Each structure stands twice: as structure tokens, then as C-alpha cells.
A and B are shown apart, each in its own frame.
Chain A
Amino acid sequence: MLKKPVMKIDVENVSKKFGSRSLFSGISCHLGAGDCLIITGRNGSGKSTLVKILARLLRPTSGTVAFMYEGQECCDWEDCLSHIGFVSPEIMFYDNLTGRENLEFMARARGVRLLPAQFEETLARVGLDSRGSQFVKTYSTGMKQRLKFAAMLALEPIVWFVDEGLSNLDADGRGLVLDLVKQSLEKGCVLIMATNDVLEAEYATQTIALS
């Protein structure tokens, strides 16, 4: 199996405050190829916020998050963006585009040009092959969740950020996602998952429990 280029993520003493309310503080971890960080915690404990901070989509109040790609630090967001994939309940698709057009947009926006057959193959892998040409507004929440993972497959990121990855999925879908998680770890990807699901937590090499 092809191994991915090596990405390391160094998180040092990260904290986040919203106004005077401190969400978490003193978060540190070091992740490398094949590592899976599981972030757990009750609703409102800041799991999604921490995932966004680790993905560098949100600035921490204090502390640092550094991405090292093949030994070189990715200094700006654009450098990081080309290596990350993001699945979250906050990711919404464009309702008046089809599933395939949404996927095509996400790939092209990253500068990734896929052949039509590759889009079909990607949609087929997540079980959406017959629905790719339909508008996303006709999709169920479970299908939208599958489409998010289709985007991950199309973009082939080195770092996966998955927030509540199993939510809204049926048994088939959950099995599919867990397979993808396993395969990506075998390829040497770094996984960061916010979840309270024991099935996802099985893959943890490191855990952060937010209170």
C-alpha cells in the first residue's frame, strides 16, 4: 500500500477563551504518521472548537499549532490547506449544485483535476453512485455525510479532521467510514477526530478528554 508523505503536527499549550469564558487550556500533543488523536467531551466542552483550532481554521487565544510537512513548517494557511481534509457537521454543501458538482468544486478549488470516471468511482465508494447527478437539496443528512467522506477520498489529504464522523449514518455508512479511517491510518495519514463514539475511539493512539 502506498505510504503518504510525512506530516507532523505539534500542538503546544493551546487555550481558547470566548470573552471571559475559558473553554479549555493547556492542550499539548505531538502527532505523526499513523497517529490518531481522539478528542472526547460532553456537549459544549469545546471539541469542535479544538478541531478547528488544530486545523488552523480558528486562532487559539494562546499557544501554537505547527504543521511540519516533510520536515518543513507550513507557515501559512494556504500551505496547510493542501494537506488537510475536513469533515464536520458545520460543513454544508451547495444545495443547488449536484453531489458531483459539489465534489468537483471541492477538488478543483484545491487545484486537483480528476477525470469524470474518478468522480464516479469516488461516489461509488461511498454508495452515492446513483445519486451523483441529483441536487444536494434532495439528499438526506446521511447522504450528505457520505458526500463529505467522498470529498476526503477525492482530495486524498494527509491529515484528516473528522468531527462527529459517524453522525447521521446507517450501519452500512458507519462501517464504510470506519473502513476509511482504518485505511487512511495504514497509509500513514494523521487523524484527528472529535467523537464520543466508542467505535471511532478504538483507533486512538492519543486521547484528549475535555471537561
Chain B
Amino acid sequence: MQHKPSRFPSFFMSVGAVLRKDALSELRSKYAFSTLAVFALTCLAGISMSIGGGELTQLNPQVQSVLLWIVLFFSAMAGLGRVFVQEQDAGTLLTLKVSAPPQAVYFGKVIFNVFLLVSLSVLVLILFIVFFDVSVSDWLSLIGVLWLGSIGLSIIATMTAAMAAQAQGRASLFTIITFPLILPEFLSAIEGTRAVLAGEAVELTQFLFLGGYGVVALVAGSILFDYLWIEG
């Protein structure tokens, strides 16, 4: 059989194959996104209905910001860990191992989780504005903080999901090892969001920290992944 020469370097083709496979599976099952979206909707609707419309608008930006990120954090915990656990449970982990190079699997899964959480963050932001009647003056900064924070969260969650999938009792382990790693990014995102909601300017260092932490996590995860991928 004559293989058609690829137009793309094979690494990008491998990443694309992993991403396409996950996206197709998700589009057909809609499991991960619906889990994340229903969780976010339930939280925001629950808070909104229990506190009541008038009092919600009086919540200070600090509390609003914390609520927004708590919803995103727990949605992420509910859905992002599935990228590897699902492969383990379906028995397809070995198929993935013998099909794609480890780095292609890692980057494919990271990109998939980033798409998932960034899409969710857009939905959560819309629901947040509707339920909490928030007025935002600097949309660019808010979206910047939200997306950088979501991207960082997705990268860390992908790395810890890979670790947890190799272990027993992985569901609980995923949250336990993700929490301390995510905390600096999480606190920085909360502070950035608070500043925007309070009408203050978000400092450049805040953006740099959010982006930089994500990059460090991406590189660390990439180095670690090769060791995690082959069983001991």
C-alpha cells in the first residue's frame, strides 16, 4: 500500500487526530459538555434563586468573582478529568498508547480540554450576567482574565487527570492533586475578575501571571507525561 505523503508534519497530524477523535466522540455523546453546563447552570440558578434578585445585585465584586470561579472550578473538576479516565474505563487507553506518540496525546487532550472549558466559560459568563445582573465596563479585560484562567485551569486539570488515570481511586485523587496546583492560578483569576467587576483596571502583571502559570504548567505536564504514559 502506498501512503499518500502528508501535507503536515506528522506531529501536528497526530495531535489533530487525537483532538478530532475526542471532538467526534464528544459531539456524538455530548457527555462532558452537558455535565459541565448542567453543573454550572444548577449552581448559578441555585445561588440566584436562594439569594433573590435584589440582594444579588448588592453582592460586592469580591463575592461575585469568587462565585463565578467556584462554579468554573467545580464544573472543570466534574468534566475535565474525564479525558483520560474515560479512556481507562472504556479500555481504549492501550489503543491510544499504541496509536499516537505520547506528546501528541498530551497536546491533543490539552487542546480539547481548553476548548471545552473556554466554551463553558462563555456560557457561564452569559448566565452570570443574566442571573446576577452584573454591569461590566471593561469587557476585554474580563474576557482576558476569564479565558487565561480557564486555559490555565484546563492545562493543569489535563496533567493531573493523566496522573490520576494511572492510579486506583482516581476520581478522588484527581481533585486532591489538582487543588493545590490550581490554587495560585485560581486566586489570581479571582482577583483579576474582582478588579474588572469593581471597575478597576487589571494590572498587566496579573495577565502575565495568569498566562505564565499556564505556560509553566503546559511545559511541566509535557515533560512529566512521557514518564506517566508507559506503565511501570
| A→B interface (CB under 8 Å) | 55-59, 76-78, 81, 84-86, 88, 90-97, 101, 104-106, 108-115, 118, 121-122, 153-154, 156
Contact = CB atoms under 8 A, between A and B. Distances in A.
Contacts of A111: 6, 10-11, 13-14
A96 B28 contact: yes
Given A81-B98, A111-B14, A59 B231 contact: yes
Contacts, number: 104
B3 A77 contact: no
A105 B232 CA distance: 27
Interface in B14-66: 14, 16-18, 20-21, 24-25, 28-29
Nearest to A98: B24
B29 A96 contact: yes
Interface residues of B, number: 38
A147 B104 CA distance: 23
Given A78-B101, A110-B100, A153 B94 contact: no
A84 B101 CA distance: 12
A45 to B, nearest CB: 19
Contacts of B103: 78
A95 B102 CA distance: 22
A91 B96 CA distance: 9
A91 B97 CA distance: 10
Contacts of A110: 10, 14, 99-100
A113 B25 contact: no
Nearest to A154: B1
Given A55-B98, A111-B10, 14 more contacts: A57-B98, A59-B231, A78-B101, A78-B102, A90-B94, A91-B94, A91-B95, A92-B90, A97-B24, A105-B17, A109-B100, A112-B6, A114-B3, A153-B1
